[in-house]
Amino acid sequence: MSDKINKTDEEWREQLTEEQYHVTRKHGTERAFSGRLDKHYDAGTYLCICCATPLFSSETKFDSGSGWPSFFALVEEANIGKTVDESFFMRRTEVHCDRCDAHLGHVFPDGPQPTGLRYCINSAALDFVSDE
């Protein structure tokens, strides 16, 4: 991914709601089943709320029962970065937008085929653009 975005903390605070800022810039997590996109199944593309990078297609969204939007594949591998997250006494793989470093959520190896992955993403980290 090119065109890396670097903004000051103040610039992010001006652009984002308090919840979006907490999730994407401070590695927060919204409460399960509270996000506006958890049960959202319209056709379209899910974008990074911070920089509008395409992240997930509605064609790969599924109901994992976790309370967060879940996807089994990315729009493009280069758009997502991964890091090890050892907070809360567990080891997980955190996913973030590669363009702006926004924290999105985590990826787990318990998703459906064909990938077997479950990208568990905060609604507050996503925007949605309809295909219609």
Output the tens digit of pLDDT for each of the chain's 132 residues. Answer: 458 999 999 999 999 999 999 999 999 999 999 999 999 999 999 999 999 999 999 999 999 999 999 999 999 999 999 988 777 667 789 999 999 999 999 999 999 999 999 999 999 999 999 997
Task: Determine the pLDDT at residue 84.
Answer: 84
Question: Is 100 a catalytic site residue?
Answer: no
Here the tokens at position 109 are 């190896």
Task: Determine the pLDDT at residue 1.
Answer: 46
- Choose among 23, 2, 3: nearest CA to 12: 23
* Domains of the chain listed by start with CATH number: 9-130 (2.170.150.20)
Phi and psi, residue 64, nearest 5°: -85, -15
Contact 99, 4 (CB under 8 A): yes
Task: Determine the pLDDT at residue 85.
Answer: 73
Task: Determine the pLDDT at residue 88.
Answer: 63
Strand order in the sheet with 54-57: 54-57, 44-48, 126-130
Model pTM above 0.85: yes
Residue from 48, 51, 97, 120 carrying the catalytic annotation? 120
Task: Determine the pLDDT at residue 132.
Answer: 78
Q: Give the CA angle between residues 18, 21, 23 to the nearest 5°.
A: 110
- Choose among 111, 131, 132: nearest CA to 121: 111
Task: Determine the pLDDT at residue 2.
Answer: 57
In DSSP terms, 81 is beta-bridged to 96
